[in-house]
Amino acid sequence: DAKTTQPTSMDCAEGRAANLPCNHSTISGNEYVYWYRQIHSQGPQYIIHGLKNNETNEMASLIITEDRKSSTLILPHATLRDTAVYYCIVRVNNNAGNMLTFGGGTRLMVKP
């Protein structure tokens, strides 16, 4: 699976949009971009994933660049409960490729 690069940490004001970038310049054509987050002392929580089109769900939006070498996770109105480590992972989405490889992630601190 392709490696990803994320900033180590970010701050965001409560109520503002949090934009978390991820670089995945070696992504292959059949690899998806996945985002998970981990709140302190809990298991990771799935947020969103996409292949090439932008995606939106009740939690977040995912913007993938046209060349697919980078993406941005957007939390439109961050709350204090969104403070967590956010992991960007790229992987194929089939039987063989379901192992998730976690990098360092971005530690997002939402401040009042």
Residues within the interface to another protein (CB under 8 A): 36, 38, 41-46, 87, 93-95, 98-105
Please say which residue, 7 or 44, places its beta carbon nearer to another protein: 44
Rounded least distance, CB 72 to another protein, Å: 21
**By C-beta, is 53 or 98 nearer to another protein?**
98
DSSP E strands in the chain: the ranges are 9-13, 18-23, 31-38, 45-50, 55-56, 61-64, 70-75, 84-92, 106-111
* CB 47 to another protein: min, Å: 11
Min CB(15)–another protein separation in Å: 26
Q: Which two tokens stand for residue 70?
A: 């980078």
Separation CA 20–CA 11 (nearest Å): 10
